[in-house]
Structure 1
Amino acid sequence: MKKSAATQLFIPLSLGGVEIPNRIVISPMCQYSASEGIVNDWHLVQLGRYALGGAGMVFAEASAVTRDGRITHGDLGIWSDRHIPGLRRLASFLSQQGSVPAIQLAHAGRKGSAARPWEGGAPLSASNNYPGEPSWPTVSAGDKPLAHQDSPPSRLTIAEMKALKNDYVKAAKRALLAGFKVIELHCGHGYLLHQFLSPLSNNRQDTYGGSLANRCSYPLEIAAALRESLPNHTALLVRISAVDGHEDGWNLQDSIYFGCRLKEAGVNMIDCSSGGIAGSATTNGISRGYGFQVPFAEAIRQAVEIPTMAVGLIVDAVQAEEILKRGQADLIAIAREALVNPHWALHAEQQLNPQAGFERWPQQVRGWLDNRARTLYKLSKASIES
């Protein structure tokens, strides 16, 4: 297949010993469809189609490192060895199709014990529990509730924080056993580690609260513990909310400071999102336009001198290509656009290179598509001549 030498989107990237075949990543997207955190056919088909669609790396959704770390009863989990077989099946299929399997390790903190979004998303309680799905107590950096009407979370003790750090490490080791090549630590979107980072949620009075350095210390401890437990050929990423989007909240300069410390801890890339500390990451005070979070990825990439991933309303191949050409990011994360078009990556290659055929499509469909293209060409030519 002919390729344009100027096409940056399809140049491989080596990241922490992992070779990613192109720069297109399917971002973690919660499906709220698991039972006790176990992968089922929905996850295999939902994520498998992105690998068939040509993405260089495909993320499993946020996977809870403890049972009480879930957002909802439908979250994926990685808190026990019972989760490994399903995750292994998923990672194996992604790898077989040429995509790098990746997984995001998460704990919801005070945003946990909630109904699924299509059930309203409110905190579970005696009045809105669903059959067989009781609520559970939530924890956080401090005791501030997400909303004033919510029950306050319990402030994590030092002993609980130490145990939870071990839970993250054990979860990462399970991910390796399942065949994942990239591990991402979720420190954004208002979930537990973001709750430590942001002054809007962290009201601790000990060495894990107050100053910026103190608020960063626990997420940094976990990142360092993960790096130490992972082999060098496994890439470690961290997703952050680069800004809270609220007055007196976490800001871009804080993210640059945190990014420098993450780099020192051996993190290979920073995945730059935003918002979520006071609710949904999609409903905050941040102005949303095409590529609205790309400037965060660019600023951190330049200031920290670390690879970054850009995400957020990147909808077009030309747009993605320009982000890479301008040096604003190293990887392009696609989420909702992939829900609309699971073959976004393969179509992007054809958009950027009109000479591209179907050679990179799954072999099971190439012949059919080649024949169809020839037929359409003949019909188009005949229509013009008539």
Structure 2
Amino acid sequence: MTIKKLTLSPPAPGVPFYTPTQDPPAGTALPSNAEVPTVFTPLKIRALELQNRFVVSPMCMYSADDGHLTDFHLVHLGSFALRGAALTIVEATAVTPNGRISPEDSGLWQDSQIAPLKRIVDFIHSQGQKVGIQLAHAGRKASTLGPWNSHNGSEVALAEHGGWPDNLWGPSAIAWDEGYPTPKEVTVDEIKYLIKSFADAAKRAVQAGVDTIEIHGAHGYLISEFLSPISNQRTDSYGGSLENRARILTETVQAVRAVIPEDMPLFVRISATEWMEHSNQPSWDIEQSKQLAALLPDLGVDLLDVSSGGNNPAQQIKVHANYQIDLATQIREHLNKQGKKLLIGAVGMINNAEMAKSVVQNDGKLSGEKAETIEVDAEHGTTAKADLVLVARQFLREPEFVLKVAAELGVDVRSPAQYLRAPYRRKTQKL
């Protein structure tokens, strides 16, 4: 009798624990003669190679310990990578202690915060997936309570809650809303310190092994506050014109780009509009976002993550399924006309298979056997609305969202090796 020699799964490389190599990683489209929708085709951005177009968007969990990530974050973030998300981005991570949104926010302002981040990075890498981190400063919206901890209707974290309401920083001394602390207008020296803090945090992120970094310039946090003429009423070189209001972002991009590896992609998230067009005063809008986006490729930015709102409680959002995706599309079309090479990420209310597919679908479809890694500039000029699908709340509802979308679209994808006995089945398949 001939005894077959078993081929055992080798251990995942480069991690300090045993787990079998996921080869290929979960969420990878398997060889097939059927057409593979773009959302399950690879994308390469500098040295970052993604097997599909699904990204876990940064989501605040208000669960860190003095800025240090914990086992909660390991399980929370690891669950998405395990189930096929090609890139998982760690939540908004403060570059200074007073830059946290809440006392329980993630931070990367000191070296002791590297190790817990690295533990998460190691696990995500062990699954063959990629991990990024969003670096942020909350500005005048800092020192608030986690959403389940409001106190007598107030969202402000006072000193007794571990907050710092007397040490908020903003471009101008304008409070976020009535009942909120008035921030200190930062000096030019403090701006330089903030920019250096972003760069120092980026260095720590690189030490932890992340694959990409995103600079948070959205949702009414510090950089977003500088961009808006409503919240930024400075008269120096950081206020007034679009160029001046964008200066803190462009200088932060330059500082971060200078300290991360040349082959590491750099992302930026912005609010494409603050939804204040009704106010009859100058505000941040889609046209300025287009102008800003055109500046970013020459600064070394590879992808613009397009969100909206968050800088003013009087915002008026016309909500519909594609209200944020449409903003991303407008910016992408503007960049194409300008001949600028910048990838676009779309966010917002992406909660089903057809919607995820439609965001990134290209005219030219690739079969499973012919789906090759696509370089950064290969897709411009197509009809895709964006290049990556960034999903947040739907991953909270369904950590297996990638696998479910594949099943509903009829795409055969790899499941985690340990879960192969329980694959997601197409609607036409029997149990």
Alignment correspondent of 1:299: 330
**SS of residue in 2 equivalent to 1:238:** strand
Residue 155, structure 1, aligned to residue 185, structure 2: yes
For the 8 Å contact 2:272–2:307, the answer to whether it is kept is: yes
How many equivalent pairs are there? Answer: 366
Shift of 1:10: 0.9
Pairing partner for 2:118 from 85, 88, 92? 88
Return the offset for 1:148. Answer: 3.2
Tell me, what secondary structure is at the counterpart of 1:206?
A: coil
Q: Distance in 2 between matches of 1:149 and 1:119?
A: 17
Distance in structure 2 (CA, Å) of the matches to 1:42 and 1:31: 9
Map of 1:269 onto structure 2: 303
Q: Contact (CA 8 Å) 1:141, 1:192: kept in 2 or not? A: yes
Q: Which has the higher contact order (CA 8 A, sep 6+)?
A: 2
Runs of 4+ in 1 over 4 A off after TM superposition: 132-136
Matched, 1:286 2:317: yes
1:253-264 paired onto structure 2 within 5 Å = 253-264=287-298
Helix, strand or coil at the partner of 2:148: helix
* 1:334 partnered with 2:391: yes
Which residue of structure 1 lines up, in the alignment, with residue 7 of structure 2? none
- Tell me whether 134-143 or 109-118 shows the greater mean CA deviation: 134-143
- Answer yes or no: is 1:224 the counterpart of 2:234: no
In the alignment, structure 1 residue 50 sits paired with structure 2 residue 86: no
Question: In the alignment, is residue 173 of structure 1 matched against residue 187 of structure 2?
Answer: no
1:311 to 342, 347, 357: 347
User: Hey, what does 1:125 align to over in structure 2?
Assistant: 158
Match of 1:352 in 2: 409
Post-superposition CA distance 1:92-128 (Å, at most 9, x none): 11111122101000000000011111112612236xx
1:135 CA displacement: 4.4
- The structural deviation recorded for 1:38 is 0.5
2:379 corresponding residue in structure 1: none
Of 419, 423, 427 in structure 2, the residue corresponding to residue 365 of structure 1 is 419
Contact 1:183 1:237 in 2 (8 A): yes
- In the alignment, the residues of structure 1 paired with residue 190 and residue 166 of structure 2 have an alpha-carbon distance, to the nearest angstrom, of 16
Q: Which amino acid aligns with 2:331?
A: I
For residues 151 and 369 of structure 1, what CA distance do their matches in structure 2 show? 51
Number of the residue aligned with 1:204: 234
2: CA distance, partners of 1:284 / 1:360: 43
**8 A Cα contact 1:16 1:236, kept in partner:** no
Measure, in 1, the Cα distance between the counterparts of 2:386 and 2:83. Answer: 22
Aligned mates of 1:278, 1:32 — CA distance in 2 = 22
CA 1:230–1:88 in 2, change beyond 3 Å: closer, same or farther? Answer: same
Report if aligned partners of 2:143, 2:163 keep a CA contact under 8 Å in 1: no
Structure 1 residue 134 displacement after superposition: 5.8
Q: Residue 122 of structure 1: SS of its match in structure 2?
A: coil
Partner SS state of residue 133, structure 2: strand
Give the percent of matched residue pairs that are identical in Structure 1 and Structure 2: 37
Give the stretch that moved more between structures: 338-347 or 290-299. Answer: 290-299
Q: Deviations over 1:7-34 (max 9, x none)?
A: 1111111112211111000000000001
In structure 2, C-alpha distance between the alignment counterparts of 1:349 and 1:368, rounded to whole Å: 14
Name the amino acid aligned to 1:346.
Answer: L
The verdict on how the C-alpha distance between 1:232 and 1:313 changes in structure 2, with shifts beyond 3 A counting, is same
Q: CA deviation at 1:234?
A: 0.7
Partners of 2:164 and 2:253 lie apart in 1 by 32
Give the distance between the partners of 1:85 and 1:150, measured in 2 at CA. 35
Q: Is 2:357 the counterpart of 1:321? A: yes
Q: TM-score, normalised by structure 1?
A: 0.91
| Equivalent residue letter for 2:302 | N
What is the Cα-based RMSD across aligned positions, in Å? 1.8
Cα distance change on mapping 1:22 and 1:48 into 2, 3 Å: same
Q: Give TM-score, length-normalised by structure 2.
A: 0.81
Pick from 100, 118, 136 the counterpart of residue 70 of structure 1. Answer: 100
Secondary structure in structure 1 of the residue aligned to 2:246? helix
Name the CA distance, whole Å, in 1 between partners of 2:422 and 2:147: 39
1:311 Cα deviation after fit: 0.3
Tell me how far apart the structure 2 counterparts of residues 352 and 150 of structure 1 sit (CA, whole Å).
Answer: 47
Q: Deviations for 1:206-245, whole angstroms, at most 9, x for unmatched residues?
A: 1110111110111111111111221121110000000000
User: Which of 58, 64, 70 is equivalent to 1:34?
Assistant: 64
Q: CA deviation at 1:150?
A: 2.5
Gaps of 5+ in 1: 379-386
Q: What amino acid is the match of 1:243?
A: T
Output aligned runs, 1:92-131, within 5 Å.
92-120=122-150, 122-125=155-158, 129-130=160-161
Q: Alignment partner of 1:328: what SS? A: coil
- TM-superposed deviation, 1:6: 3.6
Q: Which amino acid aligns with 1:177?
A: Q
SS in 2 for 1:61: strand
Q: Give the 3-state SS of the residue equivalent to 1:170 in structure 2.
A: helix
Residue 5 of structure 2: aligned partner? none
Measured against aligned partners, the alpha-carbon deviations of 1:241-273 in whole angstroms (never above 9, x if no partner) come to 000001332000100111111122110000000
1:53-111 superposed Cα distances (whole Å, 9 cap, x missing partner): 10110011000000111010110000010000000001111111122101000000000
Aligned 8 A contact 1:291 1:311 in 2: no
- For 2:303, the aligned partner's letter is M
Structure-2 change in CA distance of 1:100 and 1:44 (3 Å)? same
- Structure 1 or 2: larger helix share? 1
